[in-house]
């Protein structure tokens, strides 16, 4: 197996290739975004506080839609992503909208080498932790960037939901982190199934206990935790639409958690 440096380089190439496809996709609907519509989903809109004048750090910001959506709600935002293409696109979109968020290109696991500032809020969402082998390193980076008393707002796909292969509808993955990455050749992307890309990716599974323990060990206390029986994104074929932004994965007979949200506070 490749070492971690090579793994991150492979994943970085993957995201550099995906980004232009995502920018053009119906999924990310840039027309609506440019006209002023928020890219934030109802789950995080209900979770986040009034963002007026808040300093917000947004790790894994992709090409910046959520970051800029938070700026439109009054926040002073900094987005971070390791995809050079995504950060360049985020800067272009920011400039064409006359907004002022800052975008920094680096590995989230090395943020402390690039950012000194501490923030009122760190916000991360959807498709974040599978890219990291070790959540303790990740959680420490989040905690370091929060002011004492600051809050980490986190919305993520649920580890139970990640156990399914959404193409074959089989329960195909472990719930727990085996320490070894899953290696897959991804065809298409979640935002455009038919896109002509076929690329290697590495990712890791993380259980809820691993997530909680990593954040607690980094000095955060979890104040709120919710589980949702739907996804606000249609990212699987076998899908029932229940309401606006409520997509339910069909193959399971009983209800399963699709997404969780969490608010964790850095101790003063
Ligand atoms: C699924 S996307 C984030 C989704 C985001 N909520 C959105 O829809 O815009 C994951 C992002 O994480 C970034 N990423 C993955 N691993 C990373 C790492 N180690 N450091 C920084 N960014 C990383 C990718 O470049 C990608 O932009």
pLDDT (tens digit per residue) in 199-214:
999 999 999 999 999 9
Classify the C-alpha dihedral 258-243-127-153 as positive or negative: negative
**pLDDT tens digits along 27-48:** 999 999 999 999 999 999 999 9
Q: pTM to 2 decimals? A: 0.97
Mutate to test the pocket of ligand 1, among 64, 81, 105 (most ligand atoms within 8 A of CB): 81
- In three-state secondary structure terms, 96 is helix
**pLDDT tens digits along 240-257:** 999 899 999 988 777 899
| Per-residue 3-state assignment (H helix, E strand, C coil) for 175-206 | CCCCCCCEEEEEECECCECCCCCEEEEEECCC
Classify the C-alpha dihedral 84-89-95-100 as positive or negative: negative
The residue contributing the CA closest to ligand 1 atom 12 is: 60
Cβ 125 under 6 angstroms from ligand 1: yes
Residue 236 banded pLDDT, cuts 50, 70, 90: confident
The residue contributing the CA closest to ligand 1 atom 27 is: 62
pLDDT computed for residue 210 by the predictor: 98
**Cross-strand pairs, 154:** 124, 262
- In three-state secondary structure terms, 36 is coil
H or E, element range at 228: strand 220-228
List domains and CATH numbers for the chain.
4-266 (3.40.50.150)
């Amino acid at each position: 197996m490749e070492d971690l440096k090579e793994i991150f380089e492979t994943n970085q190439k993957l995201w550099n290739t995906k980004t232009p496809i995502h920018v053009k996709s119906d999924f990310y609907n840039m027309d609506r975004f440019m006209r002023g519509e928020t890219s934030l989903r109802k789950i995080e809109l209900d979770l986040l506080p009034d963002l007026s004048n808040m300093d917000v750090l947004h790790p894994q910001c992709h090409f910046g839609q959520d970051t800029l959506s938070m700026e439109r709600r009054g926040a002073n935002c900094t987005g971070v992503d390791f995809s050079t293409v995504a950060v360049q696109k985020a800067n272009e979109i920011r400039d064409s909208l006359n907004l002022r968020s800052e975008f920094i290109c680096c590995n989230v696991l090395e943020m402390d080498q690039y950012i000194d500032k501490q923030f009122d809020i760190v916000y991360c969402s959807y498709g974040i932790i599978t890219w990291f082998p070790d959540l303790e390193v990740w959680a420490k980076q989040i905690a370091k960037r929060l002011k004492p008393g600051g809050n980490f707002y986190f919305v993520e796909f649920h580890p139970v939901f990640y156990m399914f292969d959404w193409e074959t509808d089989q329960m195909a993955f472990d719930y727990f982190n085996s320490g070894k990455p899953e290696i897959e050749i991804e065809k298409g992307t979640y935002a455009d199934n038919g896109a002509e890309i076929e690329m290697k990716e590495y990712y890791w599974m993380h259980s809820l206990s691993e997530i909680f323990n990593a954040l607690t060990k980094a000095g955060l206390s979890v104040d709120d935790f919710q589980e949702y029986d739907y996804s606000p994104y249609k990212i699987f074929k076998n899908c029932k639409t229940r309401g606006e932004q409520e997509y339910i994965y069909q193959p399971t007979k009983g209800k399963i958690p699709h997404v969780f949200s969490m608010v964790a506070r850095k101790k003063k």
